[in-house]
Amino acid sequence: MRRFTAIIIALLAVTIAFSGCRMKSPEEARQMAEKAFKDALSGKDCDRENFLAAEELLNKAREEVNKKNYDKAEELFMAAKKKADQIGAFVKSHPDLCDPKAKKETGAQKTAAAPNDGFEEETLSAKDPNMKFPVIHFEYNEYAVRADDIPLLKIMAEWLVNFPEAAIRIEGHADERGSIDFNMSLGERRAQEVRDELGKLGIDLKRIRIISYGEERPLATGSTEEAWFQNRRAEFVKTN
């Protein structure tokens, strides 16, 4: 029994010694997170999901600081920094999406230099029977068509008007996160939204079938924002 007590006392001493050399506050983590967040502000609109996540994590971390839960706060700050870094990487890899100025420039450049790029609206010709169909992308856990992609849908509708015999299938997809079951519905809702938008543009819905592949058919591999963005999509396939 005495030995047991001695062990407990020794353990307590070690714990106290360690807590003594802990940071008084997770100041370092806070500074890192806030700097990363500031750097990521340009991604506020184009990587909204991560932006909101980073913001939420930062706020939570600050709350924990107020509650003096420094370990938890530090952990949250580091998570916020990680999210903010991901936004930074996304902004870097999507200059056309994230910077309105860059968007116009790259758009123009692409029209001139890379006419076969395919996904830029300027390069698509609705008069071309073999037009490469655009891909519609979605926000995380969302199925509304983004304003950015409406011009692509208009081109698609124009093409369907020009080729009235054509029938298409819209294939909806989700990224790898979340349950396989729910993602099947998410993919389906994305395909439905795209179909309904085409309907609003005057296309007869009888010409359009939809299918969801859930998260089973990713275009891009890897667990990165970039890959997830590529994979949250609706694709058009000609069926006749």
Partner 1 sequence: MGIHIRRSLIFLCAIALWGGAVHAQLKGEVRDGALVEYAIAVPAFTQGGDPKGELAKNLTETLRRDLALTGYFSVLDERSFVEGPEVAADKVNFKNWMTVGAKGLVKATLTGVEPVELEVQAFDVAGGKKLLHKKYKASGKAIRKAVHSFARDLVQLLAGERLKFLSSRLAFIEKSGRNYKLMVADFDGADPTAVLTSDKILTLPSWSADGAKIYYTAYTSGEPYLYAFDLKTQKAALISDHPGLNTSASPAPDGKSIALRLSKDGNAELYLMNLESKALTRLTSNLAIDTAPSFSADGKEIAFVSNRSGNPHIYRLFLNDPARVERLTDQGKYNQDPDYSPDGKYIAFTGRDEFYMFDIFLFDVASRVISRLTQKQGKNENPSFSPEGRLIVFSSDRTGKNGIWLSNVKGDKQVQIYTGPGEAITPSWSPEVPVTQ
Query: Which residues would be at the binding site for partner 1 (CB under 8 A)?
Result: 53, 56-57, 60, 75-76, 79, 83, 141, 177-182, 184-186, 188-189, 192, 210-214, 216
**Cβ nearer to partner 1, comparing 152 with 170:** 170
**Cβ nearer to partner 1, comparing 115 with 199:** 199
Rounded least distance, CB 111 to partner 1, Å:
35
Rounded least distance, CB 112 to partner 1, Å:
38
Distance (Å, whole) CA 116 – CA 146: 24
Rounded least distance, CB 5 to partner 1, Å:
24
Cα dihedral 201, 142, 88, 180 sign? negative
Rounded least distance, CB 141 to partner 1, Å:
7
| Torsion (CA) 159, 160, 165, 169 in degrees, nearest 10 | 110
Q: Specify whether the CB–CB gap between 143 and 188 falls below 8 A.
A: no
Rounded least distance, CB 157 to partner 1, Å:
21
Task: Name which of 24, 40, 39, 32 is nearest 77 in CA terms.
Answer: 32
| DSSP-H helix ranges across the chain | 2-20, 27-39, 48-66, 70-93, 95-98, 100-113, 150-162, 180-200, 225-231
**Cβ nearer to partner 1, comparing 128 with 216:** 216
**Cβ nearer to partner 1, comparing 67 with 104:** 67
Rounded least distance, CB 216 to partner 1, Å:
5
Distance (Å, whole) CA 39 – CA 94: 15
SS3 221: coil
**Cβ nearer to partner 1, comparing 45 with 63:** 63
**Cβ nearer to partner 1, comparing 131 with 174:** 174
Structure tokens at 47: 């990587």
